Structure 1
Amino acid sequence: MSELTAGTITTLEVSHKAPFGYFLTDGNQEVLLHEHDVTEPLNEKDKLTVFLYHDHQQRIAATMTIPTVRFDAFDWATAVSQHKKYGVFLDIGTSKDLLLSKDDLPYESIYWPQPGERVFCSLKLDKKKRLFARLADEQIMQTQSVPAPETMQNKTIQATVYRQLEDGIHVISEEGYLGFVHNNEQSGTLRIGQVITCRVIAVKENGSLNLSMKPRTYERINDNAAKILTYMNSRDGAMPYWDKSLPEDIKKRFGLSKGDFKKALGQLMKENLLYQKEGWSYLTKDQKADQEHHS
């Protein structure tokens, strides 16, 4: 008969009651079903389907709670605590938390999941047959995803970080869309398991998304600059005004002093949204596209 192994689901028979639970047997080996892992009244000779794990003394123990995270099944598990020496402990529904080893996490702990955040994982054994969490790789996440429709362009979504690369992060949205946030489009330090709010800046042919956490142009600029952009957009991206226009012309068209008008133009040029040439101001190509998406 094969050896009982942590992480497996098996059927065992109740051998006898103990002060702190029940001993179960496969006819060859006995394991403890601790009283806090018992979910219904038991009698000797009852046959039970149980999940096997290592207790705090690293002995094989049993629980009647069958987790959805298994060797052959991935699911979301919630981070319970961080230990810099070991990694992150996860709640998979059993009485003993599962370790996601620091060897499978980014080198710096600031990128590790914080308590309450979730990771998509299954189970694995190390060489000593100890049970650990296995993070889902790109291939697994592909099987969990659905292609995003083109109508997602410029929409705002919630997504969970599941992978970090040198040039950016990979996320999966609540709807199951896969996305990528380049370093240039990120805000702050992002962790595995963190839920972020971002907007869709491109829907790729394969249905994955390019995302940005940065605000839209009209959210970055002040009211005066927005007024100028709106006017220019109504004129196909060009206007016969620049920073040397007469104060009375500026006041009549925009209701702004020349000083405020020049500040607004300066902000738009600093954001690379506008340029000036021979008495006219023009929207850059990127700004025209952004305005069209918003309109």
Structure 2
Amino acid sequence: MNNDLATEITAIVTDKNEEDAFVQKNGVTYKVLSEDDVSIGDTLKGFVYIDKQDQAVFSTVIPEINKETFGWGTVVKVNRTLGVFVDVDWQDKDVVVSIDDLPAEGRLWPKEGDRLYLSIKVDNKDRIWGNLADEEKFFEDYVEGTKQMQNQDVTGTVFHLKKSGTYVITEEKHILFVHPSEQDKEPRLGQEVSGRVIGLREDGVLYTSMQPRAHEVIDDDAMMLLEMLKRSEDHHIPFHNKTDPELIKKQFNISKGQFKRAVGRLMKQGLVTQDETGTKLIETPLED
């Protein structure tokens, strides 16, 4: 087993030809990947790994992601029998996050373009794998949210999936928690998602909803009625479910069926009430 793989080492250039230079360390020869000219006898610091051609290489560019440190990588390929391939910014090398470390349900696997926070692990056959950060890693240096963030729009990357809900981290290192009731469908690992803050947990985690705001689920007909109610002097219009269809058509240029559906949507959102005198705005909707 090569314990140097995926680590930074210091080695001496022992050989060179017209195209490549080589270093040796602990009995292993590595091809040097360097933008600078090197000579036999030079002592170099570099990062060693096995590239896509199964060649041992020594890069003088030290990557962020290695055995000791975590970083964000981008999914570039999905293999259902193996796992997902992640670009970790190594020359001529992607690493695989094993199927064993991914969600049991395939629909929750990352897709191409999604991001994963990972380090590196090497097995006893010298195979290099991506090592996903666990939940505790994200909580090591996260930034607690505040009450002032209530109703703010937030965007982040899904890093942990649980039956109780989904954990997301933002670029600002705020951690979001999305309960299943606040999502249309469960996001996949590594997916970028957006929502709005609806509460604050005692530990500073931001309760977040991925459901649209009330005004975002109101269609054009309902929005027209809502605007008319807001602009009327007493926030009331003398139209209801028993109003003559011709009067509704003349006033709103929509059918009675469209009118009833629009009012129903507004009532479902808690924005209006209706009786035999007409339809009334409950309160001026918040512009959130």
User: TM-score, normalized by length of structure 1?
Assistant: 0.78
Give distance in 2, aligned partners of 1:104 and 1:182. 23
Deviation, structure 1 residue 134: 1.1
Specify whether residues 53 and 291 from structure 1 end up closer, same or farther in structure 2 by C-alpha distance, changes over 3 A only: same
**Which of the residues 74, 86, 108 maps onto 1:90?**
86
Aligned AA for 1:148?
Answer: G
2:115 counterpart of 1:118: yes
Give distance in 2, aligned partners of 1:222 and 1:273. 14
- Greater displacement, 270-279 / 69-78: 270-279
Partner residue of 1:5?
Answer: 4
Deviation, structure 1 residue 224: 5.2
Partner residue of 1:264?
Answer: 262
Contact 2:157 2:193 in 1 (8 A): yes
Tell me which protein shows more helix as a share of its residues.
Answer: 1
- Greater displacement, 121-130 / 54-63: 54-63
What is the root-mean-square deviation of aligned Cα atoms in Å? 3.7
Aligned AA for 1:182?
Answer: H
User: TM-score, normalized by length of structure 2?
Assistant: 0.79
Partner residue of 2:28?
Answer: 30
Give distance in 2, aligned partners of 1:246 and 1:191. 48
Partner residue of 1:45?
Answer: 41
* Percent identity for Structure 1 against Structure 2: 32
Deviation, structure 1 residue 12: 0.7
Contact 1:23 1:30 in 2 (8 A): no
**Which of the residues 64, 73, 76 maps onto 1:77?**
73
Give distance in 2, aligned partners of 1:74 and 1:87. 19
2:131 counterpart of 1:134: yes
Give distance in 2, aligned partners of 1:114 and 1:262. 42
Aligned AA for 2:178?
Answer: V
Specify whether residues 244 and 44 from structure 1 end up closer, same or farther in structure 2 by C-alpha distance, changes over 3 A only: closer
Deviation, structure 1 residue 57: 6.6
Specify whether residues 40 and 203 from structure 1 end up closer, same or farther in structure 2 by C-alpha distance, changes over 3 A only: same
Give distance in 2, aligned partners of 1:8 and 1:191. 31
Specify every segment of 5 or more residues in structure 2 that has no aligned partner in the other structure, as ranges: none
Superposed CA offset, 1:193-229 (max 9, x none): 2112212222333221122222110121135544666
Give distance in 1, aligned partners of 2:12 and 2:3. 13
Deviation, structure 1 residue 270: 4.2
Count of aligned positions: 282
Contact 1:31 1:62 in 2 (8 A): no
